[in-house]
Structure 1
Amino acid sequence: MNWVEGIGYLGTALTVASSAMGTMIPLRIVALCASCAVITYGFLIGSVPLMLTEAIQIPFNAWRLYEMVRLVRETERAASGDLSLDWLKPFGTLRRFRAGEVLFLKGDEAKEMYLIESGRFRIAEHGLDIRPGQIVGELGMLSPGNRRTGSLACVEAGTAPCLSYSEVKQLYYQNPEFGFYFLKLTSERLFQSAAEAAETARPAAAAGSDVL
C-alpha cells in the first residue's frame, strides 16, 4: 500500500467513524476531516466525481457544526447570565393566541412548551402572570407522566413560539452538553419563579393578618 492509498483508507475510516458517533459536534468535526481526506485522495487519483461529492458535503457539515456550537454557547451564557431563552426561537413554530383562549388545562398531557413573545398569559392555579421573554410549559417535560402542573390561558392577545418536547429531546441527544445547560437553566428559572411567587404572596398574607 502506497501513501496515496493510505490517504484513501484514512478518509474511509473517518467516514465510518463519523457515522458511528451519537453526539453532533464530534460527528461534524470528524465528517469534515473525512471530506478533506477523501478530496485529497480524489485529487491525487484524478477522480472529479469523488472530489465533487465531498465538496458538496463540506458546507452542510460546517453550517450544522456552527449552529450546534452556537447553541451550546448561547445556552451556557443564558444559564450563567440573564436566563434568556431567545436562542430557542429558531427551533419553534410561531403561534398566535386570542384573549380568553386556553392553551392547556391542569392534568393534560404535555407535549410542548412556549416562549412568550408578546401578550400576557396566566396560570390560574398559581396566580402567575407569564409575560414576554418568559417560558411556560417546560415543567410538563419533567413532571411524572408528562402531565401539566397548571392551566394556562391567554389574558391579552399575543404570540409565542411553540417548541415540542421531541425537538428539545433531539437537541439533547445530539449534544449532551446542551442538555446539561438546559436543565440547569430550567432549574434556575423554576427557583426564580418560586421566589417571585413567594414575594407576591407575602404582601397579601400581611394584608390579611392586618384585617384580622
Structure 2
Amino acid sequence: MDWIEGIGYLGTVLTISATAMSTMIPLRIISLCASCAVITYGILIGSMPVVLTELIQMPFNAYRLWQMLRLVRDVETAADGDLSLEWLRPFGSRRPFGIGEVVFRKGDTADEMYYIESGAFRIPEVGIEMRKGGIVGELGLLAPGNARTASLVCVEAGHALCVSYSDVKQLYYQNPEFGFYFLKLTSERLFQSGQRSPEPATAADTL
C-alpha cells in the first residue's frame, strides 16, 4: 500500500467514525476532516466525481457545525443572565394573535413555548398580563403529563415566537452542551420564581 492509498483509507476510516458519532458537533468536525482526506485522495487519483461529491457535502457540514456552535454560545450567554428566547429564534416560528384569541386553555397538552414579541396576553385564572419579552410555557416540557396549568388569552393584538417541544428535544438529544445549558436556564427561572412574590413572570413560568 502506497501513501496515496493510505490517504484514501484515512478518508474511509474518518467517514465511518463520523457515522458512529452520537453528538452533532464531533460528527460535523469528523465529517469535514473525512471530506478533506477524500478530496485529497480524489485529486491524487484523478477522480473528479469523488472530489465533486465531497465538495458538495462540505458546505452543508460546515454550515451545520457553525449553526450548532453558535447555538451553544448563545445558550451559554442566555444561561449566564439573558433569559430570553432570542437564541432559539432560528428554530421557532413567528405567529400573529388577535384580540380575544385563546392561545391555550387550562388542561390542554403543552407542546410548545412562547416568547412574546409584541402585544399583550392575559392569564385569566390569576389575572396576570404578559407583554413584550415575556416567556410562557417553557417549563411545560418538564412538567408531569405536559398539561397546561392555566389559560393564555390575547388581549392586545401582537406576535409571539413559538418553539415546539419536539424541536427543543431534538436539540437537547443532539448536543449535550445545549441540554446542559437549557436545564441551567430553566433551573435559573425556577429559582427566580421561588424568590419572587406572585408577580406576572412567576405564574407564567409554570404554564
- The TM-score with structure 2 as length reference comes to 0.91
Q: Distance in 1 between matches of 2:103 and 2:194?
A: 22
Look up the match of 1:35.
Answer: 35
Say which is worse superposed, 142-151 or 81-90, in terms of deviation: 81-90
Q: Does 1:141 align with 2:138?
A: no
Name the SS of the counterpart of 1:95 in structure 2: strand
- 1:1-212 alignment, distance < 5 Å: 1-198=1-198
Cα distance per residue 1:18-73 (max 9 Å; x no partner): 11112110000000000000001111111111011001111111111000000000
Shift of 1:198: 3.5
Q: Distance in 1 between matches of 2:103 and 2:12?
A: 51
Shift of 1:194: 4.4
Name the SS of the counterpart of 1:132 in structure 2: coil
Q: Distance in 2 between matches of 1:194 and 1:99?
A: 31
The structure with the larger Rg is 1
Whether the 8 Å CA contact 2:7–2:40 is kept in 1: the answer is yes
Aligned length: 200
Distance 1:132 1:194, change over 3 A: farther
Q: Distance in 2 between matches of 1:129 and 1:150?
A: 13
What is the identity, as a one-letter code, of the residue corresponding to 1:87?
A: W
Name the SS of the counterpart of 1:22 in structure 2: coil
Whether the 8 Å CA contact 2:84–2:135 is kept in 1: the answer is no
Name the SS of the counterpart of 2:125 in structure 1: helix
- Show structure 2 runs of 5+ residues with no match: 201-207
Say which is worse superposed, 62-71 or 178-187, in terms of deviation: 178-187
Whether the 8 Å CA contact 1:128–1:197 is kept in 2: the answer is no
Name the SS of the counterpart of 1:125 in structure 2: coil
Distance 1:65 1:188, change over 3 A: same
Q: Distance in 2 between matches of 1:141 and 1:28?
A: 28
Look up the match of 2:203.
Answer: none
Say which is worse superposed, 80-89 or 44-53, in terms of deviation: 80-89
Shift of 1:90: 1.6
Shift of 1:94: 1.1
Whether the 8 Å CA contact 1:143–1:149 is kept in 2: the answer is no
Superposed CA RMSD in Å reads 1.5
Q: Distance in 2 between matches of 1:97 and 1:143?
A: 25
Q: Distance in 2 between matches of 1:152 and 1:199?
A: 16
Shift of 1:199: 6.0
Q: Distance in 2 between matches of 1:27 and 1:108?
A: 38
Name the SS of the counterpart of 1:42 in structure 2: helix
Larger helix share, 1 or 2 = 1
- Show structure 1 runs of 5+ residues with no match: 201-212
Say which is worse superposed, 35-44 or 98-107, in terms of deviation: 98-107
Distance 1:176 1:188, change over 3 A: same
Aligned-residue identity in percent:
70
Q: Distance in 1 between matches of 2:128 and 2:169?
A: 27
Whether the 8 Å CA contact 2:89–2:161 is kept in 1: the answer is yes
Q: Distance in 1 between matches of 2:169 and 2:24?
A: 13
Shift of 1:125: 2.9
